Amino acid sequence: MEIKVANWDDFNVGDKAEHTKIIQEEDIQAFAKLSGDYNPLHVNAEYAKSTIFKQRIAHGMISASLISAVLGMHLPGPGAVYMSQEVKFRKPVFIGDKLTAKGEVVEKFTKKDGQLKFLKIQTNVYKQDDELVTEGYALVIIQ
């Protein structure tokens, strides 16, 4: 399988892409193991019942991690270097929620006499009912 590497000249302000995933129990457990974050709010149903959410919530970084799929695979895609991410968590995510991470190019610029080529991408994640759960901006460098 040949992978097409992202090229800065191929992108324009307004270009969009998205990635969708349903959050499952296995995702919570895998993320806890990967990150070492076993906060009972995420992994202990009895504890979570005593919180304002009344049930377990997904780690916030799970929703933010879906942005990585958009940037690394779609917009701009393979070859991009993810330089920074500004992120705000607006709403909780629960097991079974269908999340869609959306990216939109909002700025295109160069530095160092055109040697470094950047895209600034608005990065938002929505639940199945179009409720904003995570918002922010990413900065990527591409060829």
Structure-block tokens of residue 119? 């895209």
Task: List the one residue out of 100, 98, 101, 97 whose CA is nearest residue 85.
Answer: 101
Sorted by where each starts, the structural domains of the chain and their CATH numbers stand as: 8-142 (3.10.129.10)
H/E element, 16: strand 16-22
Q: In this model, does residue 30 exceed pLDDT 70?
A: yes
Q: What is the tens place of the pLDDT at every residue in 89-125?
A: 999 999 999 999 999 999 999 998 878 999 999 999 9
Q: How confident is the model at residue 7 (pLDDT cuts 50, 70, 90)?
A: confident
What is the average per-residue pLDDT within 124-133? 96
On whether the pTM is more than 0.75, the answer is yes
The b/e string for 25-62 (b: 16+ C-beta within 10 A; e otherwise) is eebbeebeeeeeeeeebbbeeeebeeeeeeebbbbbeb
Which residues are CB-contacts of 64 (< 8 A; sequence separation ≥ 6)? Answer: 85, 87, 89, 125, 134, 136
Position 2 confidence tier, pLDDT thresholds 50, 70, 90: low
pLDDT 10s digits, 36-78: 999 999 999 999 999 999 999 999 999 999 999 999 999 998 8
